[in-house]
Amino acid sequence: MKNVEIITIESDFGAGKKGANLGPQAFLKCFNQELNLNLPHTRIESNHLEEEEPYPGNFAKNIESIVEIQKLALQAIAEVIDKKSFPWIISGDHSNGLAGISAYKDLYPNNTLGVIWIDAHADLHTPFTSPSGNMHGMPLAAALGLRKTTSGKNNLDKDTMLLWDNLINLGSNRISPKINPEQLVFLELRDLESEEIELLNSLEIKNYTPEQRKAIGLNQLLAEINKQLENCDHILVSFDVDSLDPTISFGTGTPVPGGLLWDEAVDLLSALLQLPKLVAFEITEINPLLDRANPMEEVSAKLIKEVFEKSGFLS
């Protein structure tokens, strides 16, 4: 068995709908009923932080609390990686996806990290471009060190700009950018705003829609991903459950039709978990307050059990 350690980041400060903070513990309860591994577990909780009162023109909602949560999560993840164990990150909303990337870069500032982001959304907004201000749409923009671009339409106050700068420079070494565009691969993108499309094109970020994935097949997809990330020292995989088709479960904050079906998800994740350079795996955006007919925590637990067994991840 790999030296796997679980880190739960129980925060949904970045989401537009409440409840994803309950996702990690709900998932683990179901998962342990499926496959009780008794793995070491560190909890990052957000109860001590406050939700901001919404106000017009706030395009980085709860950013101060998110910065604090990311600092705590970064430290916990870095400690696991530093002792050569493997962090399995189970997070509330996808704003927490910055923590794993930041932890790796803080430990290994001279290394390159490849990131495979499995998500219906690109998460490339900044507070300057976001239509909602929900920060689960911004973690990769922060990882790429993006600031105001020509398409930026939102005016920010000085405090928000300072906090965004703190998020971009997260970590003791204040490294930014933490990844470059050629170190990033998107899978399952199908719900994008114009600003994100502009960035994908201008930065030439490798990305695959569900239609493109199906057209080339899994073997060709894996070959192209390996080629794209061949110069990276390690790889992190982040799996947002909204990449799944809502017919499986719509128990996530922003479900989008046309995503991964069950067998497709099992095959894809099993293959990615066998990558020799894999250094961390994240699952995120499980919301127990939404779909109760097919609860996402139950669906995800069964799915990940099957993935682990097929990939030999823990053997």
Q: How far, in Å, CA of 69 to CA of 102, rounded? A: 13
pTM recorded for the entire structure: 0.97
Q: How many residues does the chain have?
A: 315
The CA-atom distances, in angstroms, between 65 and each of 24, 49, 78, 251, 295 are: 19, 6, 20, 24, 28
Domains of the chain: 4-311 (3.40.800.10)
Let me know: does 178 contact 143? Beta carbons within 8 Å.
yes
Q: Hey, how many other C-beta atoms are within 10 angstroms of the C-beta on 174?
A: 11
What residues have CB less than 8 Å from 6, skipping those under 6 apart?
Answer: 28, 39, 40, 41, 42, 88, 90
At 150 the pLDDT is: 64
The DSSP string of 285-296 is ---TTS-SSS-H
DSSP 8-state code for residue 102: H
**Token pair of 269 as six digits:** 């994740």
At 54 the pLDDT is: 82
At 278 the pLDDT is: 97
At 36 the pLDDT is: 86
Identify each DSSP E strand in the chain by its residue range.
Answer: 4-10, 41-45, 86-91, 113-118, 184-187, 206-208, 234-240, 278-284
Residue ranges for the chain with pLDDT beneath 50: none
Let me know: does 99 contact 167? Beta carbons within 8 Å.
no
At 315 the pLDDT is: 80
At 1 the pLDDT is: 52
At 302 the pLDDT is: 98
At 2 the pLDDT is: 75
Element (H, E) at 308: helix 296-311
Rg (CA), the chain: 18
How many helical (H) and strand (E) elements, i.e. helices and strands, does the chain have? 9, 8
What is the three-state SS of 11-62?
CCCCCCCCCHHHHHHHHHHHHHHHCCCCCCEEEEECCCCCCCCCCCCCCCCC
Element (H, E) at 99: helix 97-107
At 148 the pLDDT is: 78
CA atoms within 13 A on the CB side of 70: 34
